[in-house]
Amino acid sequence: MANIYTDDVMQEGIKALARLMKESDSIVVLTGAGMDTESNIPDFRGKDGLWRKIDPRLVASVDTLEENYSMFREFYIERINRLKDVAPHEGHYVLADFEEKGIIKSIATQNVSALHKLAGSKNVNELHGNIRSIRCNNCNQEAKIDDFFNNHKCAYCGSSFLRPNVVLFGEALPAVPWDSAQSDIRNTDLLIVIGTSLEVSPVNQLPLLTRGKLTLINNEDVYAYYDFDIKLIGKAKDILIRLRDAYNRI
């Protein structure tokens, strides 16, 4: 296992990953909050993470949605407003370009920001949903974001519980993207894990499914039971830009 920590040897690790990519027929990417932090979206579990300031079980849960809807709305309106001036960074575009060229097959993401799709990636399995879309909690019909902001009722069933289309505490992951991500990872030659501490279940089980090579790009090491073939410890955007350049030179 190659552990790449210092900038002196980082480029050799990037070259090694680029060679693995060239040798692979099917590549899947798994991303977490660390992929989005360079777009000025704070992560959840880092030292300045959102969940260190707010107990998610108090606000981002099914119970709060049903029992304290005003608190639920206030929390998610703030989260959505934080995304108004947020855009994909160059690392998102690198992955989208890799997909367009047929280099990677799909992206599975824990992020609800939709930045992968905004950057042009098409085969994205949003495991925790998409905060930019709104639906009715009762009938699941799509609603407008302004209706959620203005506390309007569902236009289809009259329910008062509109919500972002994200996975709340107490809910299962959406079946279609979850099943698709599992299938892709089981059949991949190379899984590239980017920007996740792999602390959240059940997504942290996905790297264990692959029979191919397993690599990590993350701002800090992941001390767990994952047998990574390569670890690149640093910021996702910088490493992905350098990875694209290394890949193009091979």
Interatomic CA distance for residues 161 and 183, integer angstroms? 33
DSSP string, 185-231: HHT-SEEEEES--S-STTGGGGGGG-SSEEEEEESS---SS---SEE
CB neighbourhood size of 52 (10 A): 13
Residue closest to 9 by CA, chosen among 230, 212, 237: 230
Catalytic residues: 128
Burial class (CB in 10 A: 0-12, 13-18, 19+), 143: buried
- Crossing angle of the two packed helices 90-100 and 236-249, in degrees rounded to 10: 40
